[in-house]
Amino acid sequence: MRNLYAVIPSCCRREELTNLVNVLVSDNVTVVVVDTGYEEPLWESGGWWGKRNVVLDHEQPKNISRWWNRGLDTVAQAATWHPADDYVVAVLNDDIIVRPGFVPALADAIFRHDVAAAAPDVWGWVNERVYTDPVGAPMPGFAFALRGSKNLRADESLVWWYGDNDLSWQAMQAGGLVTVPG
């Protein structure tokens, strides 16, 4: 069983975040919430023995690429405890609704196709599609998954826009991106 993680930047959506985290935890996904401005703490971190973890980033100006990297770096540090195991980390918006099995399906597609990233198919294709050319469909910024061993990071100079496109291009250059229907 490969280790599954999720990074979720979040502020001011406690109910939506809680619903999302509950689905992920039920799928055995370890969650890292990047708290980007909650006034009251979300929950006490259980450390890496818990499934719900919080990293604070109330720094200004707001920068979603920095938030993604804070979470990705936190997961990479935890993954060094099992260096022989590759892992998948999903990067998710706090207001999306996912069904059980969402992150495991993305991870499964990454390893079956031996690619660097996966994303839900927002284009409506019936089958999984692998992209290796940046002209292909970019992954949506609200939900995607990265293969840990590829060590992809967001370009923090792209403060709010196009960070997802840049990561999509990096993934295609690092072995490909698969879109997963459903």
* Per-residue pLDDT reduced to its tens digit, 60-76: 999 999 999 999 999 99
Q: Smallest Cα–Cα separation from 134: which of 164, 162, 112, 165?
A: 165
d(CA 26, CA 12): 23
> b/e map of 8-36 (b: 16 or more CB within 10 Å)?
bbbbeeeeebebbbebbeebebbbbbbbb
Judge whether residue 179 has pLDDT over 80.
yes
Q: Smallest Cα–Cα separation from 10: which of 55, 44, 69?
A: 55
d(CA 55, CA 129): 34
Q: What is the pLDDT of residue 51?
A: 75
Q: What is the pLDDT of residue 105?
A: 97
Q: What is the pLDDT of residue 54?
A: 86
Judge whether residue 137 has pLDDT over 70.
no
The pTM is what? Answer: 0.92
Instruction: At 123, list the tokens.
Output: 């284009």
Q: Is the dihedral of CA 107, 109, 114, 116 positive or negative?
A: negative
| Confidence band of 182 (pLDDT split at 50, 70, 90) | confident
pLDDT tens-place string over residues 16-68: 999 999 999 999 999 999 999 888 877 654 444 457 788 889 999 999 999 99
Are 107 and 149 in contact by the 8 Å Cβ rule? The answer is no
Are 107 and 88 in contact by the 8 Å Cβ rule? The answer is yes
